[in-house]
Structure 1
Amino acid sequence: MLDERWSEDVEEIGTALRRLLSAECTPERVREAERTADGVDVGLTRQLQHFGLFELDGTPELFARVAYELGRCLAPVAFVETMPVLTLAGRQNVAFCPNRLAPAAARAVAVVRNGEVFLEPLEGLARKTAAGDFVVEHLDSSVSECIGGADLADRLERYAALVEAARMVGAGQALLAYGCEYVGGREQFGKPIGAYQGVAHRLARAAGELDAAELLVRKSAFSASAETGGDGAPAQTFAWMARAKSIEAARTVATNVHQVFGGNGFAMEYDVQLYSRRLRSWAQRGPKVGAQLAQLGRLVLDPARRDDLRLLWHYDTGMPLPRWARELDAPFNQTAS
């Protein structure tokens, strides 16, 4: 059964990483990194190397927590994109880019072609994104090394969905905390604006969305472990759900925090735009969420494949459908027969 808390070892490393990032990755450092040639803070990268981050050999839960902490402080380092290849193929500083977009600071990329995974040096022109980082649309290289087949490609995609979702949830939680601090200190008509229901309800809704997304991230990591029958990467259903929910939550918190800040939310001297720009930019990278959710819906409604679902709610396998779903599915089954 899933423990809704981070495990003790993961919590210990996550807490230590948060202390380091609190000192070394301030909003001022994030702003400075935006003015560099590749959007990366070299000093922070060096500190994380001393911390041992790039040599970690941990579980999906640990890397999800690391991505969460990096997102929480908007760390200007090219590490989240390299986590899947580091974990599943043992290669450092190699970005996984199924859509051919890779951080400009990566040394190499892992691309999927014809069902196989190829390792290639990163080639292409860098461009700055709304997130303040630089990405390269990778061009096919004449130097290529096959490192795996369809199974590795599938695992990399699922692992990438997990850590991307965790990073967005971490950034969303930090933005929400920033918004709560603001509404607690800004007064109108003699009391903090956070005391007004119209403001409080916006932030409460954002908090609920983020909590749901964080739980899905943890459940996704839980499904990857050998103890639950996983293969080292999250189950596809949970990877899709965690990513979709994190994107929805990120958009909700960015919209609502901007609303409670009013015009100040668009002022460059406030940190709201630092978070919202990145959340929106990260959400647009990777596969289309709508297509993945449509596939998930078809899986749930397919009697022949439904029992392949694992760990949903308190069921080990399968998913008993509610009456409305059975009635909706009935005409399709009659047509098929």
Structure 2
Amino acid sequence: MRFTLDSSHQDFASSIDALLTKADMPAVIRAWNSGDTAPGLEVWHRLAETGVNGLLVPEEHDGLGADAIDLVVAVEQLGRHAVPGPVAETLAVAPALLTAVAPERLSTAASGSLTTVAAPPEVPYALDADVADLVLLLDGDTVGVATAGSARSSVDQARRLHPVTAAETLGRADAAAAFDLGALATAAQLQGLGQAMLETSTEYVQQRKQFGRAIGQFQAIKHHLAEVAVALEMSRPLLHGAALAVRDGSSDAGRDVSAAKVACGDAAYRAGRIALQVHGAVGYTQEHDLSLWLTKVRALVTSWGTPSWHRDRVLDAVVAS
């Protein structure tokens, strides 16, 4: 499959990157971790002004009516900057569910409100329900409004996980399609996180010196970073291919989404491991910005389907074909 982003996709990604670069995301994330979500919500408000929140919302409900390709382009940038909050839930899953059961709520979603979703058993908790304007529970194909319980901690301090209980049934939706959108958006986040850690590591090894030389000149360091670059370069076509399959309603969309989720997760995890090795133990301390990316990768690898779950789905599809 040959797939290249056109100039409109590249410009959209650049505009999001510029917005988030100016926001000082490490400071925003640390504030979110401490319970001060105001700076993070302001970032979300600015993203909504660019149309990010309304990407998958139909135009008749004040959205952009975009598709899965636009979604992964945007979410990869949000992952690259480790934006806190229910990214996959707000931008991908909620529009799909609300279009089916409560389209009157879509205009609010497009304007910048946050929505979180629990979809047991693969997604047993609702992420950041304490800051979300709407909490949804997807139980089988049944969608309902839910109430959230006390938060549970995650390895990523920017993620607060809430058990939920059903409060009001809204209707029925295509649960499989909504789940695939959540997994696709999570894969895009992981791709962006991995790319950010590769860039951070590449810059660091040009500055840190041992034996009078920048460590980036050592062959072993070059090999490690090259392996990360290859892994990320190989996962991106799978991500884009999955987005195309979802956009086109392909019967293989589930398989392709799972392949992308596994590949992007593995690449991001490898990027994190190598970043930690080249930075040394200081990279995992809370004072170092790298730790914010490392812990988010660790949390997202198992979010919206564990690697084993997605590998099993790919295997089942291959055997059945």
TM over 0.5: yes
Q: 1:122 to 1:51 in 2, by over 3 A?
A: farther
Distance 1:270 1:194 in 2: 20
AA aligned to 1:11 is Q
Answer whether contact 1:95 1:108 (CA < 8 A) is retained: yes
Distance 2:280 2:159 in 1: 29
Q: 1:87 to 1:265 in 2, by over 3 A?
A: same
Gaps of 5+ in 1: 307-337
Q: 1:87 to 1:58 in 2, by over 3 A?
A: farther
Q: 1:117 to 1:6 in 2, by over 3 A?
A: farther
How many angstroms does 1:154 deviate by? 0.7
How many angstroms does 1:38 deviate by? 5.5
Structure 1, 20-29 or 39-48: larger mean CA deviation: 39-48
How many angstroms does 1:248 deviate by? 1.1
Large movers: runs of 4+ above 4 Å: 37-40
Describe how 1:214-233 pairs up with structure 2 within 5 A: 214-226=236-248, 230=250
Distance 1:184 1:158 in 2: 39
Gaps of 5+ in 2: 56-64, 100-105
Q: Secondary structure at the match of 1:300?
A: helix
Q: Percent identity?
A: 21
Structure-2 residue corresponding to 1:170: 192
Describe how 1:105-144 pairs up with structure 2 within 5 A: 105-113=131-139, 115-144=140-169
Answer whether contact 2:146 2:165 (CA < 8 A) is retained: no
AA aligned to 1:259 is Q
Give CA deviations for 1:233-278 in whole Å, capped at 9, x if unaligned: x801110001111111121111111111123223333222111011
1:193 aligns with 2:248: no
Q: 1:284 to 1:298 in 2, by over 3 A?
A: closer
How many angstroms does 1:207 deviate by? 1.2
1:21 aligns with 2:46: no
How many angstroms does 1:210 deviate by? 1.4
How many angstroms does 1:51 deviate by? 2.4
1:287 aligns with 2:313: no
Over the aligned positions, Cα root-mean-square deviation in angstroms equals 2.2
Q: 1:81 to 1:39 in 2, by over 3 A?
A: farther
Identify which of 57, 72, 81 aligns with 1:73: 81
Structure-2 residue corresponding to 1:94: 115
Q: Secondary structure at the match of 2:280?
A: helix
Answer whether contact 1:2 1:219 (CA < 8 A) is retained: no
AA aligned to 1:253 is A
How many angstroms does 1:144 deviate by? 2.1
Give CA deviations for 1:138-192 in whole Å, capped at 9, x if unaligned: 32223221142xxx10101111111100001101100110011000111111211
Distance 1:63 1:264 in 2: 34
Describe how 1:1-337 pairs up with structure 2 within 5 A: 1-3=1-3, 5-37=4-36, 41-56=40-55, 57-88=65-96, 89-90=98-99, 91=106, 92=109, 93-98=114-119, 99-104=123-128, 105-113=131-139, 115-148=140-173, 152-226=174-248, 230=250, 235-301=253-319, 305-306=320-321
Structure 1, 36-45 or 204-213: larger mean CA deviation: 36-45
Answer whether contact 1:126 1:134 (CA < 8 A) is retained: no
- Kindly name which structure, 1 or 2, has the bigger radius of gyration based on alpha carbons: 1
TM-score by length of 2: 0.84
Q: 1:29 to 1:38 in 2, by over 3 A?
A: closer
Q: 1:266 to 1:288 in 2, by over 3 A?
A: closer
How many angstroms does 1:103 deviate by? 2.0
Distance 2:142 2:87 in 1: 19
Structure 1, 246-255 or 118-127: larger mean CA deviation: 118-127
Q: 1:224 to 1:181 in 2, by over 3 A?
A: same
Structure-1 residue corresponding to 2:103: none
TM-score by length of 1: 0.80
Distance 2:45 2:138 in 1: 30
Give CA deviations for 1:180-236 in whole Å, capped at 9, x if unaligned: 10001111112110111111111111111111122211111111233xx538xx801
Q: 1:94 to 1:267 in 2, by over 3 A?
A: closer
